[in-house]
Amino acid sequence: MEIEAFGYVISVMPGEVLGPAMFLALVAALLSGYPVAFGLGGVAVLFGLVGMALGVIEPQFLNALPQRIFGIMSNFTLLAIPAFVFMGSMLEKSGIAQRLLEAMGRLLGRVRGGLALAVVLVGTLLAATTGVVAATVTTMGMISLPAMLRAGYDRSLASGVITASGTLGQIIPPSIVLVVLGDQLGVSVGDLFMGSLIPGLLMAGAFALYVVAVSTWKPALAPPLQTGELAAGTTAPSLLQVLVAPLGLILLVLGSIFFGIATPTEAGALGALGAMGLAACDGGFSRSDLNQVCDDTLRTTAMVMAILLGSTAFSLVFRGVGGDQLISDLLLNLPGGSTGFLVVSMAVIFALGFFIDFFEIAFIVLPLLLPSARQLLGPESLLWFGVVIGTNLQTSFLTPPFGFALFYLRGVAPPELTTRAIYRGAWPFIAVQLMVLLAGRFPPSRPPG
């Protein structure tokens, strides 16, 4: 294949052109706003036909696609996704978040920055029980945001702490993100849960330290409550009573995984059953609620699986035209070796978080990074690599202009809280996330240098 440019004729192989062209076509499809799953599948079909016409792809090569789809449909690990989605949606109906926020707000209301600290603590606990960002941000936005604004909190600080705490469900297990990462990396989801627990709690602690520092440095941004409904009336026994249900569910789900009693899929089923039990005990379990929860679970699971099927077709054709080899050669020849690879890969994931969701990042980018990660970091570091990616993917929900957590809060925020203030409040917490991410940038087996 010959290309004429500036009076010169350059001979290139068709595969050297199709790989970059296919990647650029995918970027254009993502930026167009077209549904990601259909964009992935459409680009795969188009370049599959072009590749066969040019003789780059043999027709028999595409016969592997049905086998790959069958492997996805028979993957037992992916059953954990609808189980955890169902558990989170059912717990949203049980009113746990509302009771926790009210109790912690009353307990910490008189402390400077106490309401913001209550949001961080409740967000951490909800992350370990529901893991649903939309439910957590929406609930805390409806309950805590008006209270903080009435108390004189800075609008950006109030919105930032709610959206940041709501995203903790992406890294603190049980998390759908970690289930997807474990499947894509080929590592144990249970081990990934255990490896992500400490970084997730460290992230929550960093958020709390930032709130304490800001409220101490600039007291006017987070004044204590003097009067009002949230300033009195909570005792230790009543708070303990509110905490028993979510803590019990956490022990049921995570304890069964960490002690090897159940797989993540089995633990997800236990969690779904336990969530129905909690909703029934609270009097919030009805057929209409169950129908709504099942509908939410079906929609989310169908979306995830559609993206996974589209990305499978894309990755197969991309490999057929030699695109994966081009990406691998580029990553393996970066200056700095494994350090350069980590810097570039984390920067790409962080930048993509501005525009697309974590599912698209995990299904599209991770298969391109995985071969180079195996070679540069070693198979023994893939678990650590997954934890770092999970921490970085958390920013996809928080980063302007398309962070979903920001839109969830915008949907329930009062008119006086502008979108600009919500964006401005997110940036300090993004900086905190990056500092926590940089703290774990090197695998334990390969110290820096």
286, 284, 287: which is closest to 92 by C-alpha? 284
The secondary structure of residue 4, as a DSSP letter, is E
Which CA distances in Å does 247 have to 1, 149, 161, 187? 64, 30, 23, 27
Answer whether residue 349 is part of any domain. no
Same-domain status, 95 and 63? no
CB atoms within 10 A of CB 38: 13
Q: Is residue 68 part of a domain?
A: yes
Let me know: does 403 contact 426? Beta carbons within 8 Å. yes
Per-residue pLDDT tens for 144-169? Answer: 788 788 878 899 999 999 999 888 88
Q: Report d(CA 99, CA 238) in Å as an integer.
A: 11
- 230 touches 109 (CB < 8 A): yes
Residues 63 and 82 in one domain: no
On whether both 51 and 9 belong to a single domain, the answer is yes
- Select from 43, 56, 62, 70 the least CA-distant residue to 16: 56
Domain interval for residue 240 = 77-285
Phi and psi at residue 40, to the nearest 5°: -60, -50
pLDDT of amino acid 89: 79
User: Above 90 in pLDDT, residue 209?
Assistant: yes
* Both tokens assigned to 208: 């709390």
Highest mean pLDDT, choosing among 11-20, 188-197, 223-232: 188-197
**129 and 4 in one domain?**
no
377 is a domain residue: no
**In this model, does residue 10 exceed pLDDT 50?**
no
**What's the pLDDT at 132?**
64
Question: Within a domain: residue 191?
Answer: yes
Token couple for 442: 């090197």
Which of these three, 285, 308, 332, is where a domain ends?
285
DSSP conformational letter for 75? -
* pLDDT for 214: 92
pLDDT: is 231 or 188 the higher one? 188
- Output 208-215 pairs: Cβ under 8 A, ≥24 positions apart: 208/117, 208/120, 208/121, 210/428, 210/429, 210/432, 211/113, 211/116, 211/117, 211/120, 211/157, 211/161, 212/113, 212/117, 214/113, 214/157, 214/428, 215/112, 215/113, 215/116
37 and 88 both lie in a single domain: no
Task: Identify the CA nearest to 362 among candidates 370, 373, 354.
Answer: 370
Residue of 139, 252, 127, 138 whose CA lies nearest to 177: 127
How long is the chain?
449
Q: What is the pLDDT of residue 225?
A: 66
Question: What's the mean per-residue pLDDT of the chain?
Answer: 80
Same domain, 198 and 55: no
Query: pLDDT tens-digit profile of 39-50?
Result: 888 998 898 888
Decide: 39 and 32 in contact? Cβ < 8 Å: yes
Q: What pLDDT, on the 0 to 100 scale, is given for residue 444? A: 53
The total number of structural domains that make up the chain = 2
- Higher per-residue pLDDT: 310 or 32: 310
| pLDDT number for residue 319 | 81
Tokens standing for 377? Answer: 């970091």
Residue appearing with tokens 């195996």 = 374
Same domain, 127 and 63: no
SS3 10: strand
pLDDT tens per residue, range 110-155: 777 888 888 898 888 877 776 667 667 877 787 778 878 887 889 9
Within a domain: 122: yes
Percent of the chain with pLDDT over 70: 86
pLDDT at 284: 65
Read off the pLDDT of each residue in 323-327 and give the average, rounded to a whole number: 76
Region 396-422: mean pLDDT is 81
* pLDDT at 448 (0 to 100): 41
pLDDT, residue 437, reads 79
Position 439 in a domain: no
- What's the rounded Cα separation, in Å, for the pair 391 and 172? 9
Structural domain contains residue 388: no
Question: Do residues 64 and 23 both lie within one domain?
Answer: yes
- Asked whether residue 242 falls in the same domain as residue 130, the answer is yes
pLDDT at residue 210 in the model: 94
Instruction: Specify whether 42 is located in the same domain as 95.
Output: no
227 vs 208, which has greater pLDDT? 208
For 268-316, write each residue's pLDDT tens digit: 888 888 888 888 877 667 888 889 889 988 888 888 888 888 888 888 8
pLDDT, tens only, 327-377: 777 888 888 888 888 888 888 888 777 767 777 788 888 888 888 888 888
Strand partners, 264: none
User: 398 lies in a domain?
Assistant: no
Which pLDDT band, with edges at 50, 70 and 90, does 76 fall under? confident
So what's the pLDDT on residue 109? 67
Positive or negative, the CA dihedral 161, 301, 387, 319 is negative
Phi-psi label, residue 407: left if phi above 0, alpha if psi -120 to 50, beta otherwise = alpha
Q: At what angle do helices 419-439 and 155-166 cross, to 10 degrees?
A: 50
Residue 433: which of 382, 383, 388 has the closest Cα? 388
Same domain, 58 and 98: no
Domain shared by 55 and 120, yes or no: no
